[in-house]
Amino acid sequence: MKQTTEYKSASNLEKTLTAGKFAVTAELGPPKSADLEHIKNKAKLLKGHVDAVNITDNQTAIVRVSSIAVGKLVLDMGLEPIMQMTCRDRNRLAMQSDILGAYLLGIRNILCLSGDHTCFGNHPTARGVYDLDSIQLVEMVRNMRDVKVFQNGEEIRNGKKAEIKEPKMFIGAAANPFADPFEYRVIRLEKKINAGVDFIQTQCIYDMDRFASWMEQVRNRGLHEKCKILAGVTPLKSVGMAKYMRDKVAGVVVPDYYIDRLAKAEDAAAEGIKICVEQIRRLREIEGVAGVHIMAIEWEQKVAEIVEKAQLKKR
Ligand SMILES: Cc1cc2nc3c(=O)[nH]c(=O)nc-3n(C[C@H](O)[C@H](O)[C@H](O)COP(=O)(O)OP(=O)(O)OC[C@H]3O[C@@H](n4cnc5c(N)ncnc54)[C@H](O)[C@@H]3O)c2cc1C
């Protein structure tokens, strides 16, 4: 008899990861204005090269087009979105309402985040909501999907006699393998897994040894068997960018040898791509890494080249 797999969401990303294929996702940052062409151009650059596209949610706490709206737009262009949702901007009512709405629009993946603090963004005096944190958000989405209840325990039913229509999302969260205290990082990951996370996308990795050591801790606890881990990479365009990532982005470690390589290169941008490709090749060899998440910040035109050079095209 033919065996059928029961999917939680049946998203393309879930199917790819469940089949044990090395998944490739990429980030698409929405614009700071209602610029449809900008979104379409970015989507075109990614189409056919990745399994799913992360739509960021007011990243760096700067106002941008909503991740749900852009998620629907890219879906209509034939790409699968991963809607990012931060706890910074919404309380639990708004989040549940948006999750139901996003599901109705066809969105099947969600990345649950605390979100960058408002002090980093363009409205530094805005109040951060944080009604829930990222772990509570994961748990809420899991309960909506698996127990078919809202956060207050009420069934997701439109009236007593109506059928239950729960949002079946494939649930992700972020992990930062580099922030201090290092030993605590893997415990926080485990908490997210216990809350119901299906996949993890990590903060961008440059310190490969530290990441390998984090993955060792992950394997020692058997966590790579409980959720799919996608390793985050961000190609470096210049020495300036490398130093900015090192000095200004909390929890990102950029080793000096990469900065030296970029400084000595004739074409720093090309060297940055080369480094990124080398990293992906090495990440692929690490047991428990189920895929790669390419965060090419305002450099989406390089994703296809990275995928090609890292030999991920025919994966
Ligand atoms: C792949 C990826 C995508 C991202 N996308 C976005 C995005 O779209 N938009 C955006 O704004 N940011 C985004 N970020 C940034 C991210 O939200 C921040 O880096 C955040 O600090 C870590 O995210 P998290 O959800 O994993 O945090 P968590 O694991 O939930 O927490 C990070 C730290 O904050 C602490 N913390 C959590 N909640 C509180 C609280 N209420 N009060 C005090 N401390 C608290 C935790 O203890 C922990 O030390 C992204 C990060 C990654 C890695």
pLDDT at 66 exceeding the cut of 90: yes
Would you say residue 209 lies in a domain?
Answer: yes
Nearest CA, atom 3, ligand 1: 174
Q: What is the CA radius of gyration of the chain?
A: 19
Give the chain's domain count: 1
Q: What phi, psi does 95 have (nearest 5°)? A: -65, -45
| Ligand 1 touching residue 130 (CB < 6 A) | yes
Count of CB atoms situated within 10 Å of the CB of 62: 15
Would you say the CB of residue 18 lies under 6 angstroms from ligand 1? no
- Within a domain: residue 126? yes
Tell me the per-residue pLDDT of 216-244, one tens digit each, with 9 for 90 and over: 999 999 999 999 999 999 999 999 999 99
Q: Could you tell me if residue 315 is inside a domain?
A: no
* Residue whose token pair is 């262009």: 77
Q: Which tens digit of pLDDT belongs to each residue from 35-54?
A: 999 999 999 999 999 999 99
Averaged pLDDT for residues 253-267: 96
What is the model's pLDDT at position 50?
Answer: 97
Distance from C-alpha of 290 to C-alpha of 119, rounded to nearest angstrom = 34
116 CA to middle of ligand 1, Å?
A: 6
Residue 165 lies in a domain: yes
- Choose the residue to mutate in 59, 84, 113, 253 for probing ligand 1, maximizing ligand atoms within 8 Å of C-beta: 113
Please say whether the beta carbons of 234 and 296 come within 8 A: yes
Q: What is the mean pLDDT of the chain?
A: 96
Pairwise CA distance, residues 161 & 173, whole Å? 35
Residue 87 lies in a domain: yes
Which residue, among 107, 99, 185, 105, has the nearest Cα to 140 in the 3D structure? 99
Whether residue 177 has its Cβ less than 6 Å from ligand 1: no
Nearest residue by C-alpha to atom 38 in ligand 1:
133
Contact between 72 and 107 (Cβ < 8 Å): yes
Domain coverage including residue 72:
2-309
Pairing of strands 170-175, 199-204: parallel
Q: What is the CATH number of the domain that holds 151?
A: 3.20.20.220
**Is pLDDT of 32 > 80?**
yes
Give the mean pLDDT of 71-96.
Answer: 98
Residue 181 lies in a domain: yes
Q: Give yes or no for a contact between 233 and 293, defined as CB atoms under 8 angstroms apart.
A: yes
Q: Examine the pLDDT at 4 and tell me if it is beyond 80.
A: no
Question: Is 135 within a domain?
Answer: yes
Q: What is the pTM of this model?
A: 0.96
Cis peptide bond prior to 181, omega within 30° of 0: yes
